[in-house]
Structure 1
Amino acid sequence: MTSVPAKPSQSKPASPGRPKDLGKRAAILEAAKRMFTAHGFERVSMDQIAAEAGVSKLTVYSHFGDKESLFSAAISAKCEEQLAGGLFQVDASSSLRDQLLGIGRAFLSLINSEEALAIHRVVTTQPPPAKLGQLFWDAGPRRVQGVFEAFLRAEMEAGALDIPDVHRAASQFFCLLKGEMHMLLLCGCRDAIDDAEAEAHVQATVDTFLRAYQAAPARKR
């Protein structure tokens, strides 16, 4: 009986292929942010983004797969520019209030920026089939709230905070930061918020948050 040759093993890992060009990726993201904020989502094509970035359409698809993925990546990149991961790392050399002030200032600067306001308007004016709202939420607010929740839990473990519902507390913090001024900017009732007003708002928000959740000092025996 003639033996049948064994088939080649299917477990061999695939070749990783050529590494992605990080410079081109950054150029695509910058082009995407400019075009999505200026023209909306539906009116921008991958061809246009490729031309704006100075790369081929194939390169855009190689990095991001489709327009929805590119939109999500652009939102994430904008958040990372102003809310870098290190901002949410517990710093034993700094007070909890100072750390919250740093997070609050960065977040307020992000959401009140012209670029972020324009993206928000794009999301809220698109037809439902685009699912932009969910893409925006997952890539931006949900991600930011998640890393902030991790920061709060670390501070709870250190005994600095006493929070019964971390998810709710994180949401409250960011909603307080948005406040009236963010809505005024979105509605076009204000052109800008001056630095002194923004700083006073951040400090009041942080103090309100700490009054609600700062752990009581241990009673001396």
Structure 2
Amino acid sequence: MNEVEGGPPRRKRGRPTADERLQRRDDIIDAAVRLFVGTGFEQVTLDDIAAEAHVTKRTIYGYIGDRTEIFLAAVERLRERTLHAGHHVDESLVHVAEGVVLTLHSDEAVGLHRLMIAEARRFPDLARRFYEEGPQSYIAALQQLLPDHDRARAEALFELLLGESHRQRLLGLRGAPDAAAARVQAKAALAAVGLASGHPGGSD
């Protein structure tokens, strides 16, 4: 028998489950982010990432791709964790606004943003894709949630959700906000563009 008496049955070796594949992918991205933020994009090799994640380069290619795709996967993962669909407009706009504040002021997001600023001149295509997968995607998502779908209003809202606090975060002058602080900043940003509590022209 393959089972140990008195213990849980052992899962037969074989193809990893969907959850195991997601965890492995996250582990690779986590390892890469640590290296990118700590060392710089150009200095980090796939061998470095493989060693940090305790996998082979073949595994990295199979799960994600090359170094550029890993960096962009980290940006995409942050976005996917922030933007949630399936809510009504008056609920999801507030929810997403708070999520944007929390996510983009987080250590991981700030580290990637600093890195991209430092590497943009040497890697202009990566900078372009970073903007498309990051800020541009957030703005587009906010635009879809706005009652009037106004692009200019969405851009203004996005800028306010980052605000001066994000500049201070990039400079290392303040820590990441907690959930309560993120809610206050999100509500203030919404009110500034006439969307207090997520309603056009509304109030708390």
TM-score class, shorter? 0.7 to 0.9
Identity of aligned residues (%): 31
Aligned equivalents of 1:122, 1:175: Cα separation in 2:
20
Alignment of 1:68-217 (within 5 A): 68-81=68-81, 83-86=82-85, 89-91=86-88, 96=90, 98-126=91-119, 128-131=121-124, 132-152=126-146, 161-162=147-148, 166-193=150-177, 197-210=181-194, 214=200
Aligned equivalents of 1:26, 1:199: Cα separation in 2:
27
C-alpha contact 1:108 1:178 (8 A) present in aligned 2: yes
TM-score by length of 2: 0.76
How many angstroms does 1:41 deviate by? 0.7
Per-residue displacement from partner, 1:56-108 (whole Å, max 9, x unpaired)?
11111223332111111111112222x1432xx342xxx72x43321121111
How many angstroms does 1:197 deviate by? 4.6
Q: Which amino acid aligns with 1:101?
A: V
Aligned equivalents of 2:71, 2:191: Cα separation in 1:
35
Aligned equivalents of 1:78, 1:177: Cα separation in 2:
16
Q: Which amino acid aligns with 2:66?
A: D
Aligned equivalents of 2:83, 2:55: Cα separation in 1:
27
Aligned equivalents of 1:22, 1:204: Cα separation in 2:
36
C-alpha contact 1:177 1:201 (8 A) present in aligned 2: yes
- For structure 1, the residue ranges without an aligned partner over 5 or more in a row are 1-17, 153-160, 217-221
Distance 1:101 1:85, change over 3 A: closer
Per-residue displacement from partner, 1:107-151 (whole Å, max 9, x unpaired)?
111111111111111011115232232132122222222222222
C-alpha contact 2:107 2:176 (8 A) present in aligned 1: no
Q: Which amino acid aligns with 2:169?
A: L
Helix, strand or coil: the match of 2:97?
helix
C-alpha contact 1:162 1:215 (8 A) present in aligned 2: no
How many angstroms does 1:176 deviate by? 1.1
C-alpha contact 1:90 1:151 (8 A) present in aligned 2: no
TM-score by length of 1: 0.71
How many angstroms does 1:193 deviate by? 4.3
C-alpha contact 1:73 1:139 (8 A) present in aligned 2: no
C-alpha contact 1:185 1:192 (8 A) present in aligned 2: yes
Aligned equivalents of 1:67, 1:195: Cα separation in 2:
32
Q: Which amino acid aligns with 2:160?
A: L
C-alpha contact 2:41 2:115 (8 A) present in aligned 1: yes
C-alpha contact 2:98 2:186 (8 A) present in aligned 1: yes
C-alpha contact 1:76 1:140 (8 A) present in aligned 2: yes
Distance 1:61 1:107, change over 3 A: same
Whose radius of gyration is greater, 1 or 2?
1
Distance 1:208 1:34, change over 3 A: same
- For structure 2, the residue ranges without an aligned partner over 5 or more in a row are 1-14
Distance 1:74 1:195, change over 3 A: closer
- The total of aligned residue pairs comes to 182
Distance 1:194 1:62, change over 3 A: closer
